[in-house]
Structure 1
Amino acid sequence: MNMPIVDARGLEPPEPFEHAMEALANLQAGEQFTLLLDRMPHPLLRLLERDGYRHDVSFRDDGCVAILIGRP
């Protein structure tokens, strides 16, 4: 099974946050997805921390922020 990718690059706020929230709402226990963004989403990271989602931030060579997000 391929892991879903939510590509929110090139979108203006609050669209990237809205796309991430939609993907989170559809995430089942044990599932994960990758979120691609142009910048570090500090409000989203605070929400993920608060709500107990697993997440791992990495920076791609093209300057994109990639966040692997999983529901425990």
Structure 2
Amino acid sequence: MILDNRGLEPPQPMMRTLTALEELTDKEALVIINDRRPMFLFAELDELGHLYETVQQEDGSFRITITKSGD
């Protein structure tokens, strides 16, 4: 599943991402694309135990792959 959050103002990208994660089963992945590095989201993902990988794109956006924890 890919969620394009570009063009949205905070906290919309974070809220959309957390809502989408709730719909996934354990170990499923969600890819999000954000205009900026989502620092507050990273803190939330760490707290929830989800894994994530961030890649900055050539256009300056960030592509983050989040794998829902199985705990």
Give the TM-score of the pair, scaled to structure 2.
Answer: 0.91
Identity %: 33
Gaps of 5+ in 2: none
Aligned length: 69
1:8 aligns with 2:2: no
Query: Among 9, 14, 17, which residue is 1:17 paired with?
Result: 14
Displacement of 1:32 in angstroms is 0.3
Gaps of 5+ in 1: none
**Per the alignment, in what secondary structure is the counterpart of residue 18 of structure 2?**
helix
Displacement of 1:30 in angstroms is 1.5
In structure 1, give the amino acid aligned to 2:20: A
In structure 2, give the amino acid aligned to 1:14: P
Give the TM-score of the pair, scaled to structure 1.
Answer: 0.90
Displacement of 1:18 in angstroms is 1.1
